[in-house]
Amino acid sequence: MDDVQDDEYGCSSVAVIWISWSGVGSRKRQEQVSKHKCHKRRKRRNDPGYCIIYRMASLSSKFTLALLFTSFAAIGLTGIAANWLVFEKFSQLAMEQAFESYQSDVAAYIARYGSWEQAVQVEKFDQFQRHRQTLAGNNPGRTPSSIPDAVNSDDLKVPPPLMIEAGRPSLRFVLLDPQGVVLMGADTYPAGETAPSLLAQGKPITFNDQIVALAIPVGKPNLSDIDKGYLAAINVALGYALIAAATLALLLGVFFSRRLGQPLRALTAAIRSMRAGNIQQEVKVKSYDEIGKLLKTFNDMSKDLATAYEDLEKSNATIREQAEHLQQISIRDELTQLYNRRHFDEQAEIIFAHAKRHNHPVVFMIGDIDHFKQINDRFSHATGDEVLRKVAGIFQSNTRKNDLVARYGGEEFVIAFPETPLEQAVNLCERLREFISNHTWHEINPDLKVTMSMGLNSDLNLDNFEQMLAAADDKLYEAKNAGRNRVCY
């Protein structure tokens, strides 16, 4: 499993083709499901709206939106639950109040006429109930004067008028006698029908400590305008509470997102500084949570990187110095520190090509120390080496920066004078010859004298610099044959 890798959409090869132990058919089904899931994930991530909104949104915005979504969801669920509980409580209270009123009306109805059968012969219960509620509305909490004195006033005390809507009863009941015979069916059961199965559901109505009937509520209570006003007021209050909670959630989301985003913004700024080249960075750690651990890890990493970068810079500097040294070794003569023959040939070819292309003057000089073999034989090879170093120093000190000076081999030296007419080059070489002849050679050895012969050529009609240098060498031999210590051109 170590070689399983995710593709660019986050779907691993295991998710695309999952090999199960349940057979070929199961494997095919799982492959189809996995491919479908990966396709949906690719489609969602390739959606432009998804990319713009999700990828460009800051962490603070995402945190704020997540907190707001969670808060709004919790607040909405709380509001729905609170509204449902309040409505249920109102319905329960209305049902209890309706039953108390209905129980009182039934007891008073039976008390007035002696029994239910006698009462229905004289007056319908609905008429009696409306008449009694009218009296109760005029004298709340008092017994109507028409009720016989034999009736217990506590049993027949009329409760406050039930909140009804447009004269409709707040709740309808199926009324049974103790034997299960339907006295009032509420348009559900016919009167006189026996329904013993309903006895267990009925609420007892007592008169003189005896159960005279059982009532079974039908449907939901009809809330009055006052009840509905109370519910509306409660809903408005809940709405304001939801708005206040949402505002508080928004403020808290912004506050905590800023608190959360502050160290991350500092971390981002530090990373950008590192990218700009300031490797050593330190972000202040204010907590010990996951973000604090991240910042501490970053600080440690930055410190290690800065140390490694410093060591790498030192190593690179050493390598550059060594490379420069190796380069100088490859192009310099070890004894005189002038350019060697290989480097001179490379640069001379370039100088010659440039001069010939643009028809600019160039002069090549080749010089040879007179009687150098006798110096080695008479004064030693160490003295000869010192003479070579002194001559090289005279050349370096008295030539221009753009002149190319090199030790060509043994006691031979060469100079290329780019952008220089022949007459000017001759004058420069005469000065060099005089500096060499008049040098304080006696400081090396009292009997030591050193001179040099030189040959020059400036003919650009030749094919290459080698031919110009060979022509200059011919002039050098003319100087040697003419008595040495002179310049020929």
Sign of CA dihedral 220, 226, 232, 237: negative
Instruction: Please check whether residues 419 and 452 belong to one and the same domain.
Output: yes
Alpha carbons 200 and 469: distance in angstroms, whole number: 134
- Position 112 scores a pLDDT of 85
Q: Are strands 452-457 and 362-369 parallel, antiparallel or unpaired?
A: antiparallel
| DSSP per residue, 243-262 | HHHHHHHHHHHHHHHHHHHH
Instruction: Please check whether residues 44 and 112 belong to one and the same domain.
Output: no
Tell me the mean pLDDT in the region 449-454.
97
Tell me the mean pLDDT in the region 238-253.
82
148, 112 Cβ separation under 8 angstroms? yes
Position with higher pLDDT, 276 vs 4: 276
Neighbours of 428 (CB within 10 A): 20
Instruction: Please check whether residues 442 and 475 belong to one and the same domain.
Output: yes
476, 488 Cβ separation under 8 angstroms? yes
Instruction: Please check whether residues 347 and 481 belong to one and the same domain.
Output: yes
Domain stop point among 226, 245, 263: 226
CATH number at residue 434: 3.30.70.270
| DSSP per residue, 186-254 | TTTS-TT-B-GGGGGGPEEEEETTEEEEEEEEES-----HHHHHHHHHHHHHHHHHHHHHHHHHHHHHH
Alpha carbons 45 and 21: distance in angstroms, whole number: 32
Alpha carbons 266 and 285: distance in angstroms, whole number: 10
Instruction: Please check whether residues 189 and 98 belong to one and the same domain.
Output: yes
Residue 89: pLDDT band with limits 50, 70, 90: confident
**15-24 confidence digits (pLDDT tens):** 333 333 344 4
Q: Is residue 327 part of a domain?
A: no
Alpha carbons 62 and 53: distance in angstroms, whole number: 10
Highest mean pLDDT among 44-48, 128-132, 288-292, 367-371: 367-371
Instruction: Please check whether residues 400 and 439 belong to one and the same domain.
Output: yes
261, 253 Cβ separation under 8 angstroms? no
Q: Is residue 22 part of a domain?
A: yes
Tell me, what amino acid is at 283? Answer: V
Closest CA relative to residue 172, chosen from 103, 127, 218: 218
405, 413 Cβ separation under 8 angstroms? yes
Q: Is residue 110 part of a domain?
A: yes
- Position 211 scores a pLDDT of 86
Alpha carbons 368 and 455: distance in angstroms, whole number: 9
Lowest-confidence region among 97-101, 174-178, 360-364, 466-470: 97-101
Q: Is residue 303 part of a domain?
A: no
Residue 55: pLDDT band with limits 50, 70, 90: low
Q: Is residue 310 part of a domain?
A: no
Instruction: Please check whether residues 337 and 454 belong to one and the same domain.
Output: yes
Sign of CA dihedral 350, 356, 360, 362: positive
Position with higher pLDDT, 57 vs 181: 181
Instruction: Please check whether residues 106 and 51 belong to one and the same domain.
Output: no
Domain stop point among 175, 198, 226: 226
Q: Is the pLDDT of residue 147 over 50?
A: no
Give Cα 387 to chain centroid, integer Å: 71
Q: What totals of helices (H) and strands (E) does the chain contain, helices first?
A: 15, 9
Q: Is residue 317 part of a domain?
A: no
Strand partners, 332: 339
Q: Is residue 162 part of a domain?
A: yes
Strands of 452-457's sheet, edge to edge? 404-409, 412-418, 362-369, 452-457, 487-488
């290459």: which residue's tokens?
Answer: 464
Strand partners, 18: none
- The terminus-to-terminus CA distance of the chain in angstroms comes to 83
DSSP code for 165: B
Q: Is the pLDDT of residue 413 over 70?
A: yes
Q: Rounded to the nearest 10 degrees, how much is the dihedral formed by the CA atoms of 82, 83, 85, 89?
A: 130
Tell me the mean pLDDT in the region 333-355.
95
Tell me the mean pLDDT in the region 5-11.
44
Q: Is residue 464 part of a domain?
A: yes
Residue 58: pLDDT band with limits 50, 70, 90: low
CA geometry: angle 320, 323, 326, nearest 5 deg: 150
Q: Is the pLDDT of residue 151 over 70?
A: no
Residue 405: pLDDT band with limits 50, 70, 90: very high
- What's the structural domain count of the chain? 3
Position with higher pLDDT, 298 vs 27: 298
Domain of 161, in residue numbers: 79-226
Close Cβ partners of 6 (under 8 Å, ≥ 6 residues apart): 12
Q: Is the pLDDT of residue 105 over 50?
A: yes
Tell me the mean pLDDT in the region 119-140.
76
Q: Tell me which H or E stretch contains 389.
A: helix 381-397
Instruction: Please check whether residues 341 and 441 belong to one and the same domain.
Output: yes
Sign of CA dihedral 299, 301, 303, 305: negative
3-class DSSP state for residue 151?
Answer: coil
Mean of the per-residue pLDDT values of the chain? 81
- Position 257 scores a pLDDT of 75
Instruction: Please check whether residues 137 and 34 belong to one and the same domain.
Output: no
Q: Is the pLDDT of residue 143 over 50?
A: no
- Position 15 scores a pLDDT of 38
Instruction: Please check whether residues 377 and 469 belong to one and the same domain.
Output: yes
Position with higher pLDDT, 397 vs 187: 397
Q: Is the pLDDT of residue 139 over 60?
A: no
Q: Which two three-digit tokens encode residue 68?
A: 């707001």
Neighbours of 203 (CB within 10 A): 13
DSSP code for 415: E
Kindly report the length of the chain. Answer: 489
3-class DSSP state for residue 82?
Answer: helix
332, 339 Cβ separation under 8 angstroms? yes
| DSSP per residue, 103-133 | HHHHHHHHHHHSSHHHHHHHS-HHHHHHHHH
Instruction: Please check whether residues 46 and 137 belong to one and the same domain.
Output: no
Alpha carbons 177 and 114: distance in angstroms, whole number: 14
Domain stop point among 226, 256, 289: 226
Q: Is 158 exposed, middle or buried (0-12, 13-18, 19+ CB in 10 A)?
A: buried
Tell me the mean pLDDT in the region 339-355.
96
Taking only Cα atoms into account, the Rg of the chain, rounded to an integer number of angstroms, comes to: 58
